[in-house]
Structure 1
Amino acid sequence: MPEWSKFLVPSAFIFVPTVGGFVNAYAVHAKFFKESEKWYNEDLKKPAWTPPNWVFAPVWTTLYTGMGYASYLVYRDGNGFKGDAAGALALYGTQLALNWAWTPIFFGARKMGLGALEIVTTAGCVAGCIYMFWGINKNASYLMMPYLAWLCLASSINIWVWMNNKPAVKNE
Structure 2
Amino acid sequence: MWLPLVGMTALPHLGGLYGGYVTRKEVKTWYPTLQKPSWRPPNAAFPVVWTCLYTGMGYGSYLVWKELGGFKEEALVPLGLYGLQLALNWAWTPIFFGAHKLKLAFMEIVLLTGTVGATMWSWYPISRPAALLLAPYLAWLGLATSLCYCIWRDNPETKDE
- Unmatched segments (≥5 aa) in structure 1: none
The yes-or-no answer on 1:154 pairing with 2:144 is yes
* RMSD of Structure 2 on Structure 1 (CA): 1.6
Q: Distance in 1 between matches of 2:30 and 2:21?
A: 17
In the alignment, which residue of structure 1 is the partner of 2:31?
Answer: 40
152 and 85 in structure 1: CA distance in 2 versus 1, 3 angstrom threshold: same
How far off is 1:61 after superposition?
0.4
Asked if 1:144 is matched to 2:139, the reply is: no
Residue 74 of structure 2 aligns to which amino acid in structure 1?
A: D
TM superposition shift of 1:151: 0.6
User: Structure 1 residue 112: deviation in Å?
Assistant: 0.4
1:126-145 correspondence to structure 2 within 5 Å: 126-145=116-135
Residue 78 of structure 1: how far off its partner (Å): 1.6
Q: For residue 96 of structure 1, what is the aligned residue in structure 2?
A: 86
Q: Are residues 1:114 and 2:104 paired?
A: yes
Q: Do residues 28 (structure 1) and 22 (structure 2) align?
A: yes
The farther-off stretch of 160-169 and 50-59 is: 160-169
| Aligned-partner Cα distance in 2 for 1:59–1:36 | 16
Q: 2:6 aligns with which of 2, 6, 11?
A: 11
Unaligned ranges ≥5, structure 2: none
Partner AA of 1:25 in structure 2: G
How far apart are 1:36 and its partner, in Å?
Answer: 4.4
TM-score (norm 1): 0.87
The residue aligned with 2:55 is 65
Distance 1:20 1:58 in 2: 15
Q: Using structure 2 for the length normalisation, give the TM-score.
A: 0.93
Work out whether residues 85 and 136 of structure 1, in 8 Å CA contact, stay in contact via their aligned partners in 2.
no
Structure 1: distance between partners of 2:158 and 2:134: 39
Query: Residues of 1 paired with 2:60 and 2:110: CA distance?
Result: 21
Asked whether the 8 Å contact 1:80–1:86 carries over to 2, the reply is: no
Q: Which runs of 4+ in 1 moved over 6 A?
A: none
1:38 partner SS: coil
**2:102/2:158 contact within 8 Å kept:** no
How many residues are aligned here? 159
Q: CA deviation at 1:15?
A: 0.9
Per-residue CA deviations over 1:137-157 (Å, capped at 9, x if unaligned) read: 000010001000001100000
